[in-house]
Amino acid sequence: MAASAQIVIENVNHLYRPPRGREVLALDQVSLSVANREFVALLGPSGCGKSTLLYLIGGFLPVETGSITVDGAKVTGPGPDRGIVFQHFALFPWKTVRGNILYGLERQGMPKAARERRAQDFVNLVGLHGFEDSYPSQLSGGMKQRTAIARTLAFDPKILLMDEPFGALDAQTRGLMQHELLAIWQRTPKTVIFVTHDVQEAVYLADRVAVMSARPGRIKTIVDTKFDKNDPDIFKNKFFVEKVDETWNLVREEAIKAQGKKA
């Protein structure tokens, strides 16, 4: 895997230094390789460092110990090759759907006519045609998240980093958005790193699930979760259900350890 990997994480530690109190080791000797156009989920108990690892890949936190490379180049900060989608949408409330999507394209200096066309293409891609002039306050949670995904996809990053993007949505909308994300990924294949607490979501969406240990976070095991994502009965598929159970038991062990450390 490492020879053809797009993202290579090697022996990464990360220490949190709060203003008060003692230092906390969040990640311990984490190594992971992700291939071009692969969909990998990071799964584990609360506080295991999933989001921290995502922010290190994104360049939002400094890599102090170990290394992270993208296409052979060391990550030293954020870059246009990596786009991030947060749980809480992070939309500009004073901009319309179109305005939010146009923002990154304007920053890139794309000519006006080209960026208007591209913004409309991504409005259509995420199913928001007719809502271009709506403001975030006028949108449902799912529509806000579609806008956030369209805004990130529009500037065409090679890698999509997603930090629990559906965590704030109700169960029905979450299911629809999972299906929508897979459809978008199949139409515009990119490398995706997806942080989630939801075991079924991870098994459904990802090619592989990296299960992380209780803090300090390590990669406990990698679970192969390649299924036919277009199977309408995938959630009833015997092998899918068994894989969800297997993965849940791995996470459960770590969650119990995490509770024990708090007690």
**Is 150 within the bounds of a domain?**
no
Rounded to whole angstroms, how far apart are CA atoms 258 and 248?
15
Residue 124 lies in a domain: no
Pair of tokens at residue 168: 């704030």
Q: What is the mean pLDDT of residues 210-221?
A: 95
Q: Which domain holds residue 13?
A: 2-81+157-262
**Residue 240, domain CATH:** 3.40.50.300
pTM, two decimal places? 0.90
Which residue intervals of 72-220 are DSSP H helices?
97-108, 112-125, 141-154, 171-187, 199-205
- The answer as to whether 243 is a domain residue is yes
Q: What is the mean pLDDT of residues 112-136?
A: 92
Dump strand ranges (E) for the chain. 5-16, 24-35, 39-43, 65-70, 73-74, 82-85, 159-163, 191-196, 208-212, 219-224
Instruction: Tell me whether residue 242 is in a domain.
Output: yes
How far apart, in Å, do the first and last CA atoms of the chain sit? 39
* pLDDT (tens digit per residue) in 67-121: 999 999 999 999 989 999 887 778 999 999 999 999 888 888 889 999 999 999 9
CA–CA distances in Å: residue 238 to residues 36, 83, 102, 247: 29, 35, 44, 14
CA distances from 10 to 28, 55, 77, 218 (A): 11, 15, 17, 12
Q: How confident is the prediction for the chain on average, in pLDDT? A: 91
For residue 206, give both structure tokens: 């990802």
Higher pLDDT, 192 or 176: 192
Given a contact cutoff of 8 angstroms between Cβ atoms, the answer to whether 217 and 28 are in contact is yes
* Structural domain total, the chain: 1
In DSSP terms, 250 is beta-bridged to none
Q: What is the mean pLDDT of residues 5-20?
A: 93
**Does 148 map to a domain?**
no
The verdict on residue 179 lying in a domain is yes
Residue 32 lies in a domain: yes
73 in Cβ contact with 237 (< 8 Å): no
218's CB contacts (< 8 A; 6+ apart) are 27, 28, 29, 30, 212
Residue 53 is assigned to a structural domain of this protein: yes
Confidence (pLDDT) at 35? 96
